[in-house]
């Protein structure tokens, strides 16, 4: 493999070489047509050569050091069975740029315990520094507000953590809820019974569940009541004890609904409230979001954590992050 050198962006020129002990893993590390290495070169301004099981890096000392950390991280992820793509390359670069997280979240485990969530179907590891802090908050706080744009993993990571705690018996129930609010359009009257009417609004939560548990376990646990997926209106009058409770699309609650939901909190429970303060779709001309109201009132309260995400934390296709930035910039 050889390409035209990419000039270093700053600092003195530096060269280093990495040797990997499992050559059969390098095809996955490089990606189809070396796309992962090309992405790393373009993002960091380094020049990469590969011969056998050795990879050479050339560029500024700082960028070569970061590229080395990223390649070691990606190689370790492959060893754990993860699929490496250009999105994960970007995520690993973002993590490498946060030196204070080193030894906590590095996939190779150097210096400390890795942050990860194990479910029946997959192991989830943080893909951005914000996700790493979010995962830490999920294990150390009773109530967590996850705030930020779509695609940052707010709900997905929360569902994964909830499933992991349900599997280990840390909680007895998993309760997923969201407002049954249409996103800017009227869908009319939906046919069917109550479950069939509200299921379309709750589909993103079902999707996350099926990504963490086999389909038959999801259905069995829903039938037994271990997993409950319901609109927020069904929460009134209940006390949610021994449960992991997630409220999604929380920006579409009114302040009264949010107060009702938060006060359902019971013994040995954990509650995660996810939402994007910039995407409010509350019907009837109501402009006051229960999410914004709750954050204003509860910021700094003991036992309550705030996890904030930005467009830079989007882990879907990179273009999603650019779309979010474009809309936020024109707001």
Q: By mean pLDDT, which of 138-142, 167-171, 181-185, 252-256 is the weakest?
A: 181-185
User: Structural domains in the chain?
Assistant: 13-101 (3.30.1370.10), 117-330 (3.40.50.300)
Hunting for tokens 């809820």 — which residue is that? Answer: 177
Rounded distance between C-alpha atoms, residue 100 and residue 112, angstroms: 12
- The secondary element (H helix, E strand) that includes residue 87 is helix 86-96
pTM above 0.75, yes or no: no
pLDDT of residue 238: 87
Q: Given pLDDT bands bounded at 50, 70 and 90, which one contains residue 193?
A: low
pLDDT of 100-146, one tens digit each?
Answer: 554 444 434 343 345 778 787 777 778 788 888 999 899 889 999 99
Strands (E), the chain: 13-19, 47-51, 54-60, 117-118, 123-124, 143-147, 173-178, 227-231, 243-247, 270-275, 304-308
Tell me which of 188-192, 236-240, 317-321 is least confident. 188-192
């Amino acid at each position: 493999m050889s390409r035209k050198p990419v000039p270093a962006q700053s600092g003195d020129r530096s060269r280093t070489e990495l040797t990997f002990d499992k050559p059969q893993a390098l095809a996955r590390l490089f990606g189809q047509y070396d796309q992962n290495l090309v992405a790393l070169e373009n993002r960091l301004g380094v020049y990469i050569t590969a011969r056998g099981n050795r990879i050479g890096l050339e560029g500024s000392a700082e960028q070569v050091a970061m590229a080395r950390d990223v390649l070691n991280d990606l190689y370790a992820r492959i060893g754990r069975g993860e699929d490496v793509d250009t999105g994960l390359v970007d995520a690993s670069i973002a993590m490498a740029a946060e030196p204070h997280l080193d030894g906590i979240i590095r996939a190779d485990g150097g210096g400390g315990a890795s942050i990860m969530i194990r479910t029946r179907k997959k192991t989830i590891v943080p893909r951005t520094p914000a996700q790493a802090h979010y995962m830490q908050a999920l294990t150390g706080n009773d109530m967590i507000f996850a705030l930020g744009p779509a695609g940052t993993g707010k709900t997905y990571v929360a569902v994964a953590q909830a499933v992991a705690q349900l599997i280990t018996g840390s909680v007895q129930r998993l309760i997923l809820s969201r407002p049954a609010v249409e996103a800017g359009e009227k869908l009319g009257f939906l046919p069917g019974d109550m479950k069939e009417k509200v299921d379309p609004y709750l589909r993103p939560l079902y999707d996350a569940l099926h990504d963490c548990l086999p389909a038959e376990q999801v259905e069995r646990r829903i039938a037994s009541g271990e997993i409950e997926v319901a609109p927020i209106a069904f929460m009134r009058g209940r006390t949610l004890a021994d449960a992991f409770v997630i409220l999604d699309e929380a920006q579409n609650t009114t302040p009264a609904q949010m107060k009702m939901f938060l006060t359902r909190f019971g013994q040995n429970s954990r509650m995660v409230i996810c939402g994007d303060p910039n995407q409010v779709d509350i019907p009837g001309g109501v402009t006051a979001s229960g999410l914004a109201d709750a954050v204003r009132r509860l910021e700094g309260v003991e036992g309550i954590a705030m996890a904030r995400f930005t467009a830079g934390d989007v882990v879907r296709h990179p273009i999603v992050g650019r779309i979010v930035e474009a809309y936020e910039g024109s707001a």
